[in-house]
Structure 1
Amino acid sequence: MDRESVSSSLVNSVGYDPDEEVLEVELQNGRIYQYRDVSEEIYREFLAANSLGRYFNRHIRDLSYVRVR
């Protein structure tokens, strides 16, 4: 999945597949996670958040995920 770099102390890059509703997040430590059943609205809110790390920790981190790397 293609990801775009973001400016965050926690998150390095973010990608989204709207057809599968999969959000892929690469953290600054190099780990990559895929979160399933994430709406496009959540993805957009995530990218628009003042603090990506805070939004991630409050709304995404505890969703069902698969660690890719």
Structure 2
Amino acid sequence: MQRIPVTSSDLSSVGYNSISQTLEIQFNSGGIYQYSGVPSNVYEGLMSASSHGKYFHAYIRNDYSCNKI
């Protein structure tokens, strides 16, 4: 999945597949995680947030199952 670089103290890049509703995040620590069942409006909110890290922690981290890849 192609990811877009973001400016964040936590996140390095973000990718999204609207068909499978899979959100892929690479963290500055180097880990890459895929979050399942993420609606497009949540992805759009993440990408337009003034703080990607705060949005991630508030709306994604504990709300969607994930797998480290």
Runs (4 or more) in structure 1 with deviation over 2 Å come to: none
Q: Percent same amino acid among aligned pairs?
A: 38
- Give the TM-score normalised by structure 2: 0.96
Matched with 1:40 is 40
In the alignment, structure 2 segments of 5+ residues that lack a partner are: none
Q: What secondary structure sits across from 1:53 in the alignment?
A: helix
* CA–CA distance in structure 2, aligned partners of residues 9 and 42 of structure 1: 20
Root mean square deviation of aligned Cα:
0.5
Kindly report which structure 2 residues correspond to 1:1-69, keeping only aligned pairs within 5 A, or say none. Answer: 1-62=1-62, 63-68=64-69
In the alignment, structure 1 segments of 5+ residues that lack a partner are: none
Residue 33 (structure 1) shift: 0.5
- Give the TM-score normalised by structure 1: 0.96
State how many pairs are aligned: 68
